[in-house]
Amino acid sequence: MSLGTKGLIDAHADVVGSLLRPAGLLRAREDLYAGRISPQQFKAVEDRAVDEAVALQQDAGMEVVTDGEMRRLSFQSPLAEAVDGLGAFDLDAFLWGDWRGGEQVGNLRQERPASLGVVAKLKRKRYPLIEEFVYLRGRTTRTPKLSVPSPSLWANFWSPDVSRDAYPTLDGFLADVADFLRDEVAQLVSLGAGYIQLDAPHYPLLADPRTRTFYERQGWDVSRWLARGIELDNAVIGAFPGVTFGFHLCRGNQGSRWLSEGGYESVARPIFRGVKAHRLLLEYDDQRSGSFEPLREVSDDKTVVLGLVTTKSPRLETIRELTFRIEEASRFVPLERLALSPQCGFASSIIGNRITVEDEKLKLRLITETARKVWG
């Protein structure tokens, strides 16, 4: 890996974020909730899980590493743990939706919890991402990467019934969310974070009528979701010289299932041109994501990280297969501005996908080996 002319990350092998939670960590979380172990004992288990996650990625040859999101209930949960005001919630707050594909794994509920909704003005109580970064930075000589949820993803925590006293409008709530996330990002940068990713799976959901309905019922039409949502994303990204920002899009990822289908055509121009991120990490592991043609809309200042390696099944792609697809994508974006990654995390919540740790290792190793073959 090298740094570009502006000091930005220029890795051709990348990773999205989460890894499977070890069984011992899941048991320890249950023991913590039940009062059988102390928070200090639980943190020791978390720390070991992070150490193992870092070692797994480094052994696979990754130059960009995360902490596997071992400290998170869900990729989205850090803000929920950082603030007061969101009311009572549990894992279901992050898992509801019309999940499709494969067998049910864990408690993937279909309906939105009726009681879910912000109930008071948000108030900062801690900085969980700072805690994640400081520990990760001390455990690796590779590039540490942190992910942050996109502000407008938090529409699922606003309800016109539950939230009207605290935030009468969705606009006001999401503006506050963006401010809190921007504050956390600024703190990360001040501590030396050089690679930060915004996770924004809700944008591809706007392209599928089955999943678009919820967002429209929140009060914004699709054009406003794209215009105002991206404006909030760019407010979080800000202008931090030398800091690389990634922007991850997928179609849902829990228990090897997904929420939506459809290509990027309807969202490509506003996102691929409008978001101020430097790297677009895009799900492209099967036909659900459509063709590479929407990549024509990617502005010349961005790298496209092709999520060609699936995290949803043990099926292992081949170097030949991946090389062919990278060549296809290079018809629309020059090869030097392409990179390779998994299509999503391996465990977007503590409910992981239907794969094994050995599968994770093989897939990450395949990514690094393919990157070396294609880019040297």
Beta carbons of 278 and 8 less than 8 angstroms apart:
yes
What is the reported pLDDT for 108?
Answer: 60
What is the reported pLDDT for 113?
Answer: 85
Q: What is the dihedral of CA 339, 343, 349, 351, to 10 degrees?
A: -140
Phi, psi of 338 (to 5 degrees): -115, 155
Structure tokens at 182: 């921007």
Beta carbons of 247 and 197 less than 8 angstroms apart:
yes
How would you write 140-200 as a 3-class SS string? CCCEECEEEECHHHHHHHCCCCCCCCCCCCHHHHHHHHHHHHHHHHHHHHHCCCCEEEEEC
In the chain, what are the domains? 2-375 (3.20.20.210)
- Beta-strand runs (E) in the chain: 2-3, 9-10, 64-65, 83-84, 123-124, 143-144, 146-149, 195-199, 244-249, 279-283, 303-309, 338-342
What is the reported pLDDT for 103?
Answer: 60
* Position 365 pLDDT exceeds 60: yes
What is the reported pLDDT for 100?
Answer: 84
What is the reported pLDDT for 210?
Answer: 84
Quote the pTM value.
Answer: 0.95
Burial class of residue 134 in the structure, from the number of CB atoms within 10 Å of its CB (0-12 exposed, 13-18 middle, 19+ buried): middle
Distance CA 188, CA 171 (A): 26
Q: How many CB atoms lie within 10 A of CB 368?
A: 18
Distance CA 126, CA 122 (A): 12
Distance CA 220, CA 168 (A): 14
Model confidence at 309, pLDDT cuts 50, 70, 90, reads: very high
Overall residue count recorded for the chain in this entry = 376
Beta carbons of 211 and 97 less than 8 angstroms apart:
yes
Average pLDDT on 33-54 reads 97
Highest mean pLDDT among 80-84, 96-100, 366-370: 366-370
What is the reported pLDDT for 7?
Answer: 67
Q: How many CB atoms lie within 10 A of CB 37?
A: 18
Average pLDDT on 7-26 reads 94
What is the reported pLDDT for 5?
Answer: 45
Distance CA 28, CA 299 (A): 45
Amino acid letter at 213?
Answer: T
- Beta-strand runs (E) in 213-337: 244-249, 279-283, 303-309
Q: pLDDT by residue (tens digit) across 171-180?
A: 999 999 999 9
| Terminal CA-CA length for the chain | 10
Phi, psi of 258 (to 5 degrees): -140, 170
Amino acid letter at 196?
Answer: I
* Position 125 pLDDT exceeds 70: yes
What is the reported pLDDT for 330?
Answer: 98
How would you write 113-131 as a 3-class SS string? CCCCCCCCCCEECCCHHHH
Distance CA 201, CA 283 (A): 10
